[in-house]
Amino acid sequence: MSMLRICRGIRNNVSSSLTFSRLIHSLQFATIKAEEISGSQPAEVHNLVHGKWMKSDNWNTIPDPLNGEPFIKVSEVDENGIKPFVESLSKCTKHGLHNPFKSPERYLLYGDVSAKAGYMFSLPEVSDFFAKLIQRVSPKSYQQALGEVYVTGKFLENFSGDQVRFLARSFGVPGNHLGQQSHGFRWPYGPVALITPFNFPLEIPVLQLMGALYMGNKPVLKVDSKVCIVMEQMLRLLHACGMPAEDVDFINSDGLTMNKLLLEANPRMTLFTGSSRIADKLAYDLNGRIKLEDAGFDWKILGPDVNEVDYVSWVCDQDAYACSGQKCSAQSLLFVHENWNQTSLMSHLSYLAGRRKLDNLTIGPVLTVTTEAMLEHKNNLLKIPGAKLLWGGEELENHSIPKVYGAIKPTAVFVPLEQILKAEHYELVTKEIFGPFQIVTEYKNSQIPMVLNALEKMHAHLTAAVVSNDPLFIQEIVGKTVNGTTYVGLRARTTGAPQNHWFGPAGDPRGAGIGTPEAIRLVWSCHREVIYDVGPVPRNWQIPPST
């Protein structure tokens, strides 16, 4: 290498370090200020393709979920504008941007990008920026929004340094004769797509996007337009931390346009997080080349051993109503053993639900279900014999939430277990309402088979909780259920998954996980076996008879 090239390399590294150093002390990556986004100062969201930010001629105006003002303008691509995205994705080969035999230095690159981005997230001004930006588009309490930022930052820290290349760890098995060995490798898909929902506008897309990049794929990313501004700013931060701009395309569009893009670009794998209905359509359209983290009607069982009523009540309230119930892991159905009737559980739950207020966003707008739809669901449930309203069931008071969104008080409806199991009621009771709404029922020891029957009939198996320290009871329930992320023990919950364990459904071969090395390998890579057979050929070998 010439001295000139060495000097240039040193200068580039120093320049990169100085740029990152300056970023540490400011938000130079950001193009907006979260607190200033308003109807009078609307923010703009652009698209990213071929490594360049671009606008389209079509603008989708997003209403402020708290007052209805048009506060974000999203540059959306229509069906006539997808060609650059199709071309960009098509440039990526099936063997990806890197793999164990090709450009392995990129594993180190992404370890470095993750280290820098993780450090950025540890800075109060950066974490506060993203927490407040999340609050603006998907209103939740500051603590809930900051928790999402914290998990994202810890994930980035987890995959810094050598941890990215460790994801691609291979194994070898001795062969049948001298010179033969088989090696198993984790291989990228190449061109991939990633579609994520509104409720976790930072955590879900970042964790899945980085997993795709770590394994050597080139993703096109689409985030729900209501919240896409969060990932636009995140991509700018990643660029500032050294991510090549050409590695990710970012598109804003409606569902029909994205569907056409998928059909024309033909990604080798698509990750979809969202509703079961759209998931099933995509699975059909894409001939099964898809991984899903779809809807979850999640259950919790309070076992016969009663302990720590205050704590259990608080966790139940958090699981059902934090983020206004807009979590795919939210507690949707609570089975309460009759022994809990001797306690203050229900009065505690009613009190905790009632103390949630709009002014601190511990209850807030529901972005996918209207007030009328949720109240109609409540009324339909109350027609079931023995059903009763436990708390809530009313529209929020003194609010300015636009009618396109929902605004109800935290709500619970009691439905007898026998009625839940009836064919004419089961689908209604287990209908997922993506809002602050739960079903409560009661059971006795003799009715545990009925509880298990109710769980067996469900079609979505995401999270679950068995609140009990009785090992035999836990064994009975866990052994006869299938939910992919199941918490057991006195402190069991359904929500609040950190970055250090698998989160995802089970019981479906299309199921996707998130967060852990196992999840990344499962979703974003496939197995490739390479068999080395170099000889030598035995001395005096002769051609054998045909077989």
CATH of the domain at 481: 3.40.309.10
| Inside any domain, residue 504 | no
293 neighbors 512 (Cβ within 8 angstroms): yes
| Binned average pLDDT, 10 residues per bin, the chain of 547 residues | 42 48 68 94 97 95 96 96 97 98 98 98 97 97 97 97 97 96 98 96 97 98 97 98 98 96 96 89 94 88 98 98 96 98 97 97 96 98 98 97 97 98 97 96 98 95 97 98 97 94 93 95 97 94 95
Give dist(CA 230, CA 134) in Å, integer.
7
Give dist(CA 247, CA 245) in Å, integer.
6
| Inside any domain, residue 97 | yes
| Inside any domain, residue 370 | yes
221: CATH: 3.40.605.10
Question: Phi and psi for 130 in degrees, rounded to 5?
Answer: -70, -35
3-state secondary structure of 186: strand
Query: How is residue 525 written in tokens?
Result: 């890579």
| Inside any domain, residue 503 | no
Co-location of 305 and 400 in the same domain: yes
| Inside any domain, residue 138 | yes
Query: How is residue 189 written in tokens?
Result: 């898909």
Give dist(CA 408, CA 324) in Å, integer.
9
Distance of CA 8 to the CA centre of its chain: 41
Co-location of 246 and 369 in the same domain: no
Contacts of range 474-481, beta carbons closer than 8 Å, 24 or more positions apart: 474/303, 476/448, 477/301, 477/452, 480/452, 480/455, 480/456, 481/452, 481/455, 481/456
Rg (CA), the chain: 26
- Among all residues, which ones are annotated catalytic? 293, 328
Query: How is residue 400 written in tokens?
Result: 């300015």
90 neighbors 50 (Cβ within 8 angstroms): no
Co-location of 306 and 231 in the same domain: no
DSSP-derived letter for residue 417 is H
Find the DSSP H helices in 291-405.
309-321, 345-354, 371-382
| Inside any domain, residue 223 | yes
Co-location of 103 and 219 in the same domain: yes
Co-location of 315 and 203 in the same domain: no
Query: How is residue 298 written in tokens?
Result: 């999640």
Give dist(CA 350, CA 198) in Å, integer.
28
Co-location of 317 and 274 in the same domain: no
Q: How many domains does the chain have?
A: 2
Question: Phi and psi for 539 in degrees, rounded to 5?
Answer: -60, 145
Co-location of 127 and 190 in the same domain: yes
Q: Specify the residue for token string 């509104």.
A: 198
| Inside any domain, residue 32 | no
Co-location of 415 and 473 in the same domain: yes
Co-location of 337 and 393 in the same domain: yes
Co-location of 189 and 283 in the same domain: yes
192: nearest Cα among 223, 213, 165, 164: 213
Question: Phi and psi for 505 in degrees, rounded to 5?
Answer: -80, 170
> How many CA atoms lie within 13 Å of 481's alpha carbon, on the beta-carbon side?
33
* Residue 157 lies in domain: 48-58+78-294+516-527
Beginning with the edge strand found earlier in the chain, give each strand of the sheet holding 58-63 in spatial order.
Answer: 43-45, 70-76, 58-63
Co-location of 274 and 409 in the same domain: no
Q: Which helix or strand (DSSP H or E) is residue 281 part of? A: helix 276-285
137 neighbors 72 (Cβ within 8 angstroms): yes
pLDDT of residue 294: 75
Query: How is residue 32 written in tokens?
Result: 């907006």
396: nearest Cα among 435, 441, 446: 435
125: nearest Cα among 156, 104, 146: 146
Give dist(CA 269, CA 66) in Å, integer.
37
pLDDT of residue 274: 86
Q: Which helix or strand (DSSP H or E) is residue 171 part of? A: strand 171-174
| Inside any domain, residue 546 | no
Co-location of 235 and 268 in the same domain: yes
pLDDT of residue 13: 47
| β-strand pairing of 298-302 with 290-293 | unpaired
pLDDT of residue 317: 98
pLDDT of residue 293: 87
